[in-house]
Amino acid sequence: MARVEVVRGDITREAVDAIVNAANSSLRGGGGVDGAIHWAAGPRLKEAGAALAPCHPGDAVATPAFDLDPPVRHVIHTVGPVWRGGAAGEAALLASCYRRSLEVADSLGARSVAFPAISTGIFGYPPDQAARIAVDTVRSVSTQVELIRLVAYDRPAYDLLTAALDV
């Protein structure tokens, strides 16, 4: 079973085999963590993403990490659900993002993977509910990944993920 950790920081600085991007379906980049990853990986990421688009909510695909610093070798792009009140299948789609990303990580042979708090920014998912789903899903998935790092960008997200990890 994978070790699950919570850290606070910028996911583009994480020394792991693969980082997960909270992308949009076009895979051409956007704001938030998506923008930060595209900035750090360089323009080839957009080209590689566009060639794989569209990626549907709940699914994940991988590209090389291009200009991201080693040891990062892969970017796994997953598309979270847009929050529409909670009755539109958002929870199942968010869980699917974590599950599919780990399946893709397994197919790449990645042993350490960092996740941002998918959907909790521009897509509006309530961060407390998202933290619960993130922790429960990564804990329940059967994977060859040995280290799963949940990366919180701010203090509130860090506190919510830490609390979810303790239950």
According to the binding rule CB under 6 A, does residue 90 interact with ligand ADP? Answer: no
Cβ contact 23:59 at 8 Å: no
Task: Specify the residue, 49 or 116, whose C-beta has the smaller distance to ligand ADP.
Answer: 116
How many residues interact with ligand ADP (rule CB under 6 A)? Answer: 21
Task: Specify the residue, 10 or 146, whose C-beta has the smaller distance to ligand ADP.
Answer: 10
Which amino acid belongs to residue 142? S
According to the binding rule CB under 6 A, does residue 119 interact with ligand ADP? Answer: yes
According to the binding rule CB under 6 A, does residue 157 interact with ligand ADP? Answer: yes
- For residue 5, what is the enclosing H or E element? strand 3-8
d(CA 91, CA 63): 26
Among 118, 9, 143, 1, residue whose Cα is nearest residue 55: 118
d(CA 77, CA 7): 20
Among residue numbers 122 through 151, which ones bind ligand ADP (CB under 6 A)? 122-123, 151
The binding track of 43-82 with respect to ligand ADP, each residue x by CB under 6 A or -, is -------------------------------------x--
